Structure 1
Amino acid sequence: MVIVGAGMAGVQTAVALRELGWREGITLLGDEPHPPYDRPPLSKAVLLGQAGSPAVDVRFDVDFEALGVDLRIGVRAQALRTADREVVTDAGPLRYEHLVVATGAYPVALPGTAGLPGVHLLRTLDDAAALRPVLDARQRVVVVGAGWIGAEFATAARQAGCEVTVVEAADRPLAGALPALVTAPMRTWYEEAGVELRTGLPVSALEPGAVVMADGSRLAADAVVVGIGARPATGWLAGSGVQLGGDGAVLADDRLRTTAPGVLAVGDCASFPSARYGERLLIHHWDNALQGPRTAAANVLGGDERYDPVPYFWSEQFGRFVQYVGHHRDTDTLLLRGDPATASWSACWLRDGRLVAVLVVDRPRDLAQARKLIRRSAVLDPAVAADSSVPLMSAERPD
C-alpha cells in the first residue's frame, strides 16, 4: 500500500487500514519536510503563538513506527505510471499494489505575485511560521479575499493588534458560498472587530508597500495575505489514466475508486457522486478528510461501502463560532431561525420540504439536531422550523 499525501486524509487512511486489519506494508509519502500535522490550528493558535512549538504541538497523535507505517517526509510525487503500478517521486520510483491519492489542495495565488516579498499564502506550517513575525510586529495587513480563510486570518491579525483591511472582488463576504441574506449581517462582524472591509473591487496589482485596486486607489500594506481559494493538487496525475474533472479534482466513484485499477482517492483532491444531494461534491474541509479514509480503507480490504456523508465544517471568526452542515443549492428554500443581527442565529435550507443544510452562528443545539435530521432526510414544517424559540427537532413532520 502506498499513500501519497501525509495530511489528515493520508494519515487517517493509514490508521484506518491498520484498524480494519491490513497486515501488509504501508508507505506514506509527504512532500513537506515536517512530520504530518493538523491544519486548522494554523490560522488560529499557531499564528498567535499559542501553540508553543508549532512543529510539535500540531502533529497528529500517531506513532507511525508502532503502526508499521513507513513514513517518508520531504518526498514529492511527480508522476503516476498506472501501467507499471509505479509512483515517480523526486527520490526515485516506488512500486505499489494499491495506491491512495491524498495530495490535498494548494492555495490559489494572485497572478504575477509568486515570489514577491511581503506576499503570503496560508496553507502550510511554513506559511504560518512566515506570518508569525507579521503579527508579532503588528504590521499593516491587507487580506485579499473575504472567504473563510480571509476572515479567520483577519480575526487573528486583529487579535494581535494589526491594522487590517480586507478586500473582496465580489459585493459581499462569502459570496461564492452563501446567499446575500445570510452574508449581509457579516459585514458588521468586520466593523465591530475594527477591520476595514472593501467589497466590489478587485485587486489590480501589488507594489512594494501597497495594494493597487482596479479603480486606481492604493492601500498601504506591510504584508499582503491572499485567501482566494484552493485547487486540488493533482497536476502530478496528468497522463496517468486517473480521470480528472474540469476543476482538477480526481473523479472518484461512490466507493472512492478512481478510473485506474487499484487507485483510490480521498480528501480535498477528489470529488465523488452524492446520492443524497444528487450531484458530484468536492469538499475542501477537515471532516471530509477524516471520514473518507475509513470508506477507502474498507474497500481496499474487499468491502463495498458507499461514501455519501453529510458534509460539515466550522470557522472561528470575529468572536463567533460558525458551523455548517449539509449542502444547499441556490434554488433551495431558505429559512432564518432568529435575527442575524443578534449574537446567535441559524439558517436552514429545505428542498422539497426536506432539510438539506443548516448554518449556525453560536447555536450548537441547532447544529446537533440538524445533523440527525439531514441524515434521515427529514421533512420539516417551514413555519415551525422558522421559529427559533422551539427546538429544530420539533419541526419534523411525517414523510
Structure 2
Amino acid sequence: MSEQSKSSQDPDHTPRVVIAGAGIAGVQTAVALREAGWRGAITLLGDEPHQPYDRPPLSKALLLGPADGATFDIDFAALGIDLHLGRPVTALRPGAHEMDTAEGPIAYDHAVLATGADPVLLPGSEDRAGVHLLRTLDDAERLRSVLAARQRVVVVGAGWIGAEFATAAREAGSTVTVVEAADRPLAGALPAEVADRMTGWYADAGAELRTGTRVAAVSSGEVALADGTTLPADAVVVGIGARPATAWLAGSGVALSPQDGSVLADDQLRTSVPDVFAVGDCASFPSARYGRRLLIHHWDNALQGPRTVAENITRGAAEGVVYDPVPYFWSEQFGRFVQYAGHHEGADETIWRGDPAGASWAVLWLRENRLAALLAVGRPRDLAQGRKLIEKGAALDRDRAADATLPLKAAAR
C-alpha cells in the first residue's frame, strides 16, 4: 500500500519506513526514499556505534591511512532520517508490523532488510589472539597497527579481500604468506583459465601464495597447515567468504534460501511477507537477464538496489519497478585495477583481448553471440563500454572483439 493511500485512510497517521542495517544499502535506501518523494518517517537502525561509513576503503586505503574519509557525508537530521547507532535488530514480527530491538519494538508501515553479510569464521580460531577479520571499521583499525609494525602475516583465503589485504600488507613492508584451499586464487569467482593468469601477481609483489592446502590449526605465533607445514605468524587475517546476515529472521516467515541463507526477494526486491523489502548483501533476486537467481556481495549492488526499493515503497505495488542490473565490481590488487561486469556462468564462448601476461588485458564471455560478462585488467574503457553492451544485449563480431587496438564498442554488430 502506498504512502498516499495509507494516509488517506488515517489522516493523522504518519507512515514509517524502518530500515534494519546502516551500511551502504541501508543508508542509500534512506536517502533514496527522500529523493523518490517519500514524505513519511524514516528510521535507520545500525549495529555499530560509528557513524555510517563506506566499506570498500576498509581493504584498500584505510589499512594504510586515516579513517576520516570513510564516513558518509550525509546530514541525516536535515533529511529527516532518524538514525539509531549501536541498536541492532533482533527479530521481525510481520503480524504486528514491528521490529524488535534491545531497547524495545519499533512499529513500521514498510520494513527494509539491509543487514548485509557476516564473515565466515575459521573453525577453532574464533577467540584466538592475533586472528583478524576485515569487515568493520574496528577491524581495519586493528589491522592498521599490525601493518605499521611490519609483522609476519598469514592471510587465509586468496579471494578478493585476501588479495587486497595482501597488497596493502606488502606495501606496508610486512612479510606475507597467503594460504588458499583451492588450487588457484579466486577459485569461487573466476574460471581456472582466467584465475591462473593472476597467480603470478603474488610472487611479483613479494608475497608467497600456497594453494591446494588447508589450515589445520592456529596457535600463538604460528599457523599449522594440513600438509604438515608450519608457518610463523605474528598475525592471521581470515578472508574465506561471507554469508547473508539473516539468522535473526528465524521464525519471521520471511523466506530464506536453503542454499546460502539469503532473503528470497522477488524481482521488485519484495520479500515473502507483506510490506517488507530486502536489499544488498543479505538478499538474492531473480534476474531475467541471466535466467537465474543472483546473490551479489558487492558495493554496486548495495548502491543500486536501494533506488528500486525506494521507488517501490513510494509508488506502491501498482507501479512496481523491476530490479535486474548488470552486476559490477572492482578490486585493486598488486598494482592492478581489476573490474568485472555481468555474470559469466552459462556463457558458451570466451574471447581474450590483449596479452594476459602484460599490464592490461580483458576477457569477454559470450552467450549465444551476445556479451554476457567481461573482466578488465587495466582497461577501464573496455569495462565502461562492455557494461553498456551487456545492458543492450549486444551481439559482437568476434574478430573485432579480440582486437585490443580497437574500442570494444566497435565490435558491436
Question: TM-score under structure 1 normalisation?
Answer: 0.97
Correspondence 1:30-69 to 2 at 5 A: 30-49=46-65, 52=66, 54=67, 56-69=68-81
Tell which deviates more after alignment, 327-336 or 182-191: 327-336
Correspondence 1:113-192 to 2 at 5 A: 113-192=125-204
Select 1:27's aligned residue among 43, 51, 55: 43
Report how far residue 90 of structure 1 moved: 1.7
User: Is the contact between residue 168 and residue 201 of structure 1 (CA under 8 Å) also seen in structure 2?
Assistant: yes
Distance 2:346 2:192 in 1: 11
Tell which deviates more after alignment, 236-245 or 382-391: 382-391
Give the 3-state SS of the residue equivalent to 1:65 in structure 2: coil
Alignment-derived partner of residue 18 in structure 2: 2
Correspondence 1:270-285 to 2 at 5 A: 270-285=283-298
Gaps of 5+ in 2: 1-16
Alignment-derived partner of residue 248 in structure 2: 236
Distance 2:308 2:98 in 1: 23
Report how far residue 332 of structure 1 moved: 2.9
Distance 2:236 2:348 in 1: 37
Q: Which amino acid aligns with 2:381?
A: R
Distance 1:59 1:176 in 2: 31
Poorly superposed stretches of 4+, deviation over 4 Å: none
Report how far residue 284 of structure 1 moved: 0.3
Alignment-derived partner of residue 74 in structure 1: 86
Q: Which amino acid aligns with 1:108?
A: V
CA RMSD of aligned residues (A): 0.9
Give the 3-state SS of the residue equivalent to 1:184 in structure 2: helix
Q: Does 1:215 align with 2:227?
A: yes
Distance 1:267 1:214 in 2: 35
Report how far residue 382 of structure 1 moved: 1.8
Alignment-derived partner of residue 337 in structure 2: 321
1:235-272 per-position Cα deviation (integer Å, ceiling 9, x unaligned): 11011011000201000000000001000000000000
Give the 3-state SS of the residue equivalent to 2:289 in structure 1: coil
Select 1:248's aligned residue among 258, 261, 280: 261
Report how far residue 330 of structure 1 moved: 5.5
User: Is the contact between residue 179 and residue 330 of structure 1 (CA under 8 Å) also seen in structure 2?
Assistant: no
Distance 2:376 2:237 in 1: 27
Select 2:328's aligned residue among 299, 312, 337: 312
Report how far residue 381 of structure 1 moved: 1.7
Q: Does 1:382 align with 2:395?
A: no
Distance 2:348 2:263 in 1: 27
Select 1:356's aligned residue among 358, 366, 372: 372
Give the 3-state SS of the residue equivalent to 1:175 in structure 2: coil
Select 1:263's aligned residue among 269, 276, 295: 276
Alignment-derived partner of residue 12 in structure 2: none
Report how far residue 136 of structure 1 moved: 0.6
Question: TM-score under structure 2 normalisation?
Answer: 0.94
Distance 2:201 2:39 in 1: 51
Alignment-derived partner of residue 93 in structure 1: 105
User: Is the contact between residue 256 and residue 296 of structure 1 (CA under 8 Å) also seen in structure 2?
Assistant: yes
Tell which deviates more after alignment, 119-128 or 56-65: 56-65
Correspondence 1:333-372 to 2 at 5 A: 333-372=349-388
Give the 3-state SS of the residue equivalent to 1:357 in structure 2: strand
Distance 1:221 1:26 in 2: 46
Alignment-derived partner of residue 289 in structure 1: 302
Distance 1:39 1:340 in 2: 29
Instruction: State, as a whole percentage, how many aligned pairs show the same letter.
Output: 69
Give the 3-state SS of the residue equivalent to 1:6 in structure 2: coil
Report how far residue 331 of structure 1 moved: 4.7
